[in-house]
Amino acid sequence: MWATELSDVLFGTPQPIRVKSNLGVLKEDEVNIIVHGHEPVLSEMIVQAANDPELLALAGKVGAKRINISGICCTGNEILMRHGVPAAGNFLQQEPAIITSAVEAMVVDVQCLMPALTELAKCYHTQIITTSPKARIPGARHVAFSESAALASAKNIVKIAIENYPNRNRAKVFIPREETDFMAGFSVEAIVGALGGSLSPLLDAVKAGSIRGIAGVVGCNNPKTKQDFSHITLTEELIKRDILVVQTGCAAIACAKAGLLVPEAAGKAGSGLRAVCESLGIPPVLHMGSCVDISRILVTAAAAANALGVDISDLPLAGAAPEWMSEKAVSIGAYVVASGIFTVLGTIPPVLGSGNVAALLTSGAAGVVGAAFAVEPDPQAAARLIDEHLAAKRKALGLS
Ligand code: SF4
């Protein structure tokens, strides 16, 4: 929560913005730089450096039309929300991005970086550039990123990418044409703004049953499941049932690629949710940020609970991480459950060695924090679980 608040102080609070997603955002005649990882400080500076007149002139000298920045994982989410920088993909697209043979540099900071990227990059001209002392990878080029000389470090990195452009093997270049528009930037402030200054219209829609509840579908890709399948299936099932979906992290990029993060996707929602989305001009699935921005969802939930004079655990809310993978997803999931929100995981956490721990997480926690985890790999069944949970919460609040 603190990290999100401070990022907003430093770089600005996100506002709704139209962005493009998927590997089609890479450009054949431009220097392609992908930023990947989690730290907004680095990516903010790379975006600034890419507009530097001297570096643009240098790109022109090597025959490139422009410097094209795109993102992968949550570094990507940070800059797409604030600057409209396109998302080349989510976690499982870091290798395919290199295989396009059109990426001059993949600039990484920390976390969710596949250690084998450097081995793969040897088959292409892509430079893997590590920047954090905490995450150096054998075989990568290391350019230490220092906050005190942030822009100079970023310019140095962009220059390396530009100088690598002539090394691209054009015979190998293959950029898939897939490219999908989506809307992002739904910070709490932006949602309140879209509702006319308070959460009341949203709460009224929940009370009236036009929106039956709200589900956060979040988290990673997991190589144990078909990429994006569970995110997309679960999200489509939920909006059909008039459940507003809010998203962060790689889940949001998955649904962006599937075309669910545009106002036009309201046509796939149930009649109640569709009417609300059409009247506000918003998508039925709201992109609220990177995976560490889960606190934006919880701040909204707390404001709703305070407005109604109940606990968060009393609200018709649910969470889901259908393809979770990273250790950080574990702490994020624990934060959500500890805040009182029932959460469905799509893969089993490594806890089955202890019957006591498994029982605490899936049932005992409910008596302590008002919520527990469930595990359901089938996204259709997960949607039914969430539906039943929301119906029970509505009934307990006296809502139809
Ligand atoms: S959602 Fe998961 S895979 Fe994606 S950036 Fe966050 S931690 Fe990494």
**pLDDT (0 to 100) of residue 336:** 97
Task: Please tell me the distance between residue 74's alpha carbon and the centre of ligand 1 in angstroms.
Answer: 6
pLDDT confidence bin for 39, thresholds 50/70/90: confident
**pLDDT (0 to 100) of residue 147:** 87
Residue with tokens 């293959």: 174
* H or E, element range at 375: strand 373-375
Read off the DSSP letter of residue 343: E
* H or E, element range at 184: strand 180-184
Ligand 1 pocket, mutate which of 43, 73, 297 (most atoms under 8 A from CB): 73
**Model confidence pLDDT, tens digit, residues 191-241:** 999 898 999 999 999 999 999 999 999 999 999 999 999 999 999 999 999
Ligand 1 pocket, mutate which of 220, 225, 297, 332 (most atoms under 8 A from CB): 220
Nearest atom (ligand 1) to Cα of 219: 1
Task: Please tell me the distance between residue 54's alpha carbon and the centre of ligand 1 in angstroms.
Answer: 34
Task: Tell whether pTM > 0.75.
Answer: yes
* H or E, element range at 247: strand 243-247
Task: Please tell me the distance between residue 35's alpha carbon and the centre of ligand 1 in angstroms.
Answer: 14
Residue among 76, 90, 64, 92 nearest 158 (CA): 64
Q: Give dist(CA 155, CA 45) in Å, integer.
A: 8
Residues 6+ apart with CB under 8 A from 353: none
Q: Give dist(CA 284, CA 270) in Å, integer.
A: 10
**pLDDT (0 to 100) of residue 267:** 98
Nearest atom (ligand 1) to Cα of 325: 2
**Model confidence pLDDT, tens digit, residues 368-388:** 999 999 999 999 999 999 999
Ligand 1 pocket, mutate which of 291, 292, 293 (most atoms under 8 A from CB): 291
Angle at 380 between CA 377 and CA 381, to 5 degrees: 65
Task: Please tell me the distance between residue 38's alpha carbon and the centre of ligand 1 in angstroms.
Answer: 8
**Model confidence pLDDT, tens digit, residues 259-318:** 999 999 999 999 999 999 999 999 999 999 999 999 999 999 999 999 999 999 999 999
**pLDDT (0 to 100) of residue 81:** 96
Nearest atom (ligand 1) to Cα of 290: 6
**pLDDT (0 to 100) of residue 247:** 98
- Percent of the chain past pLDDT 90, that is, above it, reads 94
**pLDDT (0 to 100) of residue 334:** 95
Ligand 1 pocket, mutate which of 36, 38, 91 (most atoms under 8 A from CB): 91
**DSSP characters over 286-331:** EE--SGGGHHHHHHHHHHHHHHHTS-GGGSSEEEEETT--SHHHHH
Nearest atom (ligand 1) to Cα of 218: 1
Query: Comparing 221 with 41, which gets the higher pLDDT?
Result: 221
Residue with tokens 């040897």: 122
**Model confidence pLDDT, tens digit, residues 50-85:** 999 999 999 999 999 999 999 999 999 999 999 999
- Which regions of 8-154 does DSSP assign to beta strands (E)? 17-21, 31-37, 67-72, 87-89, 105-108, 127-130, 141-142
**Model confidence pLDDT, tens digit, residues 143-167:** 998 889 999 999 999 999 999 999 9
Nearest atom (ligand 1) to Cα of 74: 5
pLDDT confidence bin for 363, thresholds 50/70/90: very high
Task: Please tell me the distance between residue 228's alpha carbon and the centre of ligand 1 in angstroms.
Answer: 13
Task: Please tell me the distance between residue 265's alpha carbon and the centre of ligand 1 in angstroms.
Answer: 24
Task: Please tell me the distance between residue 92's alpha carbon and the centre of ligand 1 in angstroms.
Answer: 10
Task: Please tell me the distance between residue 203's alpha carbon and the centre of ligand 1 in angstroms.
Answer: 30
**Model confidence pLDDT, tens digit, residues 87-115:** 999 999 999 999 999 999 999 999 999 98
Q: Give dist(CA 295, CA 335) in Å, integer.
A: 9
Query: Comparing 157 with 330, which gets the higher pLDDT?
Result: 157
Protein residue with least CA distance to atom 2, ligand 1: 220
Nearest atom (ligand 1) to Cα of 324: 2
Nearest atom (ligand 1) to Cα of 73: 5
Domains (ranges, CATH) in the chain?
23-172 (3.40.50.2030), 182-396 (3.40.50.2030)
* H or E, element range at 59: helix 53-61
* Mean pLDDT over the full length of the chain: 96
Ligand 1 pocket, mutate which of 78, 230, 328 (most atoms under 8 A from CB): 328
205: number of Cβ within 10 Å: 21
Angle at 284 between CA 12 and CA 93, to 5 degrees: 70
Task: Please tell me the distance between residue 219's alpha carbon and the centre of ligand 1 in angstroms.
Answer: 6
Lining residues, ligand 1, CB within 6 Å: 73-74, 90-91, 112, 219-220, 249-250, 291, 325-326, 328-329
